[in-house]
Structure 1
Amino acid sequence: MVEKPSVATAVYTESEFSLLRTVVLAQSEFRAPDDLQDADPALGFLDGSDRESVLAMRGKTLAEAFPARQEAWERERDALKSMLQRHGIEVVRPRLMTEAEKAAAGTAGYSNFFVRDPWFTVGGNVIEGCPRFRHRRLEVLPSRPVLKERAFGSDAAYVALPAPELPDPEGTDGPGPFLEGGDVLVFGKHVFVGRSGLASDDAGHRWLSEYLRPQGYTVEQVPLQPHVLHLDCALGLVREGLLLVCEERLTEGVPGALADWDRVAVSEEEARALGTNGLPISPDAYITDPAFRRIGDELTRRGITVEYVDFTVSRSLGGSFRCSTQPLARFA
């Protein structure tokens, strides 16, 4: 069992809202698949104008299709980096994708834009998952140098999900296993894993449950509506006893372990724009987009200091602050 490390050698995530000490912040690289179609599941969670913009990128990078948006996207991530550093948080970046990696991705496209999903941390475990969408299958590679540098030589365990089986001839994704960090919420020894059919699956949940059980963890699956990409697009843990939730997106309601927590209700419209996908940086401070002032005001009334960063471009691609970051050290 991996115990909480010292600050000097920290690779450990205690909970979604424990003090954030070291975080990996995503790069801004995306090339859409050549065969992207309007009915593609990879677009199902996007609103109409955002969907049309991604369709217009078919076979191109965002930088090629919309150079000004690419520049704005990079500025968003730089603004978040500055905000995090002002709060004393160490910010680490993955490298950019190599030309060989881009070539290997081929017509499926590639991404290096939401570091939350290809790997994640639970306690003293660094876990490489497996994204379902094919343009994200190589997304873990730019983070590998960070993971090797930080995990090796620390007390952390560094493991990987088994590789998924091959897609079937009809073109479906196959039987997995699939497990994405956007579906994984950590609350001490209780881990919640979302499942909508768009990302993590039963096999991924079972693998994580079996892996973590000897360390004393309970891993609970949380069913989602089929249009919801990840659990963090429906539920956010702000501090112990306080959560954000769009209950319409949870097919069986808020999990029992969280049932008595104070709730800030998030509408379907707000959730679709990623209103639950802010980033707690401590139990008392939270980062979100100015588009969610109403939600921020509710948190402020509950004693949370709310910081705002414009994340319009990131959100148009289906991810926000939580999606763009992955903690390496988060504990009291």
Structure 2
Amino acid sequence: MLSLNVKNETSRLRAVVLGTALSNGPTPEASVAYDPKSLEHILAGTYPKEADMVAEMEAFNKVFEKYDVKVYRPELVANENQIFTRDIAFVIDDIIIEAGILPERDKEFPAIEYVIDQIDPAKVKRIVDKEKIHIEGGDVILYNDYIFIGTYRGADYAQVKTARTNQAGIDYIKDLFPHKKILTFDLVKSWADARDNALHLDCCFQPVGTNKAIIYKGGFRNEAEYQQLVDIFGMDNLFHITRDEMYHMFSNVFSIAPDVVVSEKNFTRLNQWLREHDFTVEEIPYAEIAKQEGLLRCSTLPLVRD
């Protein structure tokens, strides 16, 4: 049996599901793009090629090998984008939750059923009513006693394609984890400009180390909610990123341990800050995958941390 344990974003990683870029399918039509950044690259003719994305994911996999992390990969579904495993499921404490994702992505979860089969069925929760309950793993960030959840509270939620987690999704998590402190964050959404779209909470915020975090203030519709994070972490422990850095996914790095962060090699300013604060930074190329408005955290589903 696989005993799950994930209480935060940074404790030493032991097991993870890493997505795959194999059999990714042709460049999508603009009409079926999931997010404005993918749409931008589809229209510009710069959408990433499968071979480049496979190479980037293999570089990520090599880092996991270096740190002796057990890596699971999804079974292949032909011509399907299976890179972003964070969206389809997430672990809180010792429970794995099948997310309430976009219906167009329903083919992705069965590809990790072989992993689910190794887990105590009592520790597996499946969102059955996906029409009503929307929640994706990119919106769920763990910080020990806290669960931070990104959402969109605009009255036009149903018409906003980049709104991924709703109040019903938040209530679902609150019911499952009544002992946790749950804070929610109303995120800025835009279909017209990817630079103004926080697709998930991890696109504008993520903890690193034991008491630090990367944050983009402009990703929050409500400054008081941003201020809650400032109060928890302290201004001196926050690395504030710019609108352009948010667009390039600076907050979507991935921690293998409290002092080890996997980051994109072009994130010069962030990587320097991390090293100045005694982090080991494992730099890899991931700029092609970033064109789909997802990066390192999005590509992972942590199962076991110390």
The bucket for the TM-score relative to the shorter chain is 0.7 to 0.9
Q: CA deviation at 1:50?
A: 5.5
User: What is the aligned counterpart of 1:316 among 291, 295, 298?
Assistant: 291
1:161 aligns with 2:127: yes
| Partner of residue 180, structure 1 | 136
How far apart in 2 are the matches of 1:129 and 1:183?
Answer: 11
1:83 aligns with 2:46: no
Correspondences of 1:27-66 after superposition (within 5 Å)? 27-28=20-21, 29-31=23-25, 36-37=30-31, 42-46=34-38, 48-49=40-41, 52-53=44-45
Q: CA deviation at 1:9?
A: 4.8
Give the 3-state SS of the residue equivalent to 1:75 in structure 2. Answer: helix
How far apart in 1 are the matches of 2:28 and 2:229?
Answer: 43
Aligned residues of 1:111 and 1:135 also touching (Cα < 8 A): no
Correspondences of 1:253-332 after superposition (within 5 Å)? 253=223, 254=226, 256=228, 259-261=231-233, 262-331=237-306
| Partner of residue 210, structure 1 | 175
Aligned residues of 1:228 and 1:249 also touching (Cα < 8 A): yes
Cα deviations by residue, 1:20-42 (Å, 9 ceiling, x for unpaired) = 111110011544797643xx772
| Partner of residue 17, structure 1 | 10
Query: In the alignment, residue 258 of structure 2 is paired with which amino acid?
Result: P
User: What is the aligned counterpart of 1:93 among 64, 67, 73?
Assistant: 73
CA shift in 2, pair 1:202/1:45, >3 Å: farther
Give the 3-state SS of the residue equivalent to 1:116 in structure 2. Answer: helix
Q: CA deviation at 1:220?
A: 1.9
Aligned sequence identity (%): 21
How far apart in 2 are the matches of 1:35 and 1:93?
Answer: 27
Give the 3-state SS of the residue equivalent to 1:276 in structure 2. Answer: coil
Q: CA deviation at 1:10?
A: 3.3
CA shift in 2, pair 1:33/1:78, >3 Å: closer
- Aligned CA-pair RMSD: 2.3
How far apart in 1 are the matches of 2:281 and 2:208?
Answer: 11
Cα deviations by residue, 1:181-220 (Å, 9 ceiling, x for unpaired) = 000001112111101352111111111111111xx12222
How far apart in 2 are the matches of 1:147 and 1:239?
Answer: 29
Query: In the alignment, residue 163 of structure 1 is paired with which amino acid?
Result: D
Query: In the alignment, residue 3 of structure 2 is paired with which amino acid?
Result: A
Query: In the alignment, residue 117 of structure 2 is paired with which amino acid?
Result: K
**TM superposition score normalised by structure 1:** 0.79
**TM superposition score normalised by structure 2:** 0.85
Q: Which runs of 5+ in 1 are unaligned?
A: 1-7, 57-65, 103-109, 166-175
| Partner of residue 213, structure 2 | 243
Aligned residues of 2:28 and 2:42 also touching (Cα < 8 A): no
Q: Which runs of 5+ in 2 are unaligned?
A: 158-162, 190-196
User: What is the aligned counterpart of 1:119 among 54, 67, 89?
Assistant: 89
Correspondences of 1:3-14 after superposition (within 5 Å)? 9-14=2-7
Give the 3-state SS of the residue equivalent to 1:13 in structure 2. Answer: coil
Give the 3-state SS of the residue equivalent to 1:222 in structure 2. Answer: strand
Aligned residues of 2:135 and 2:165 also touching (Cα < 8 A): yes
Q: CA deviation at 1:72?
A: 1.4
How far apart in 1 are the matches of 2:244 and 2:297?
Answer: 18
CA shift in 2, pair 1:291/1:33, >3 Å: closer
Q: CA deviation at 1:163?
A: 2.5
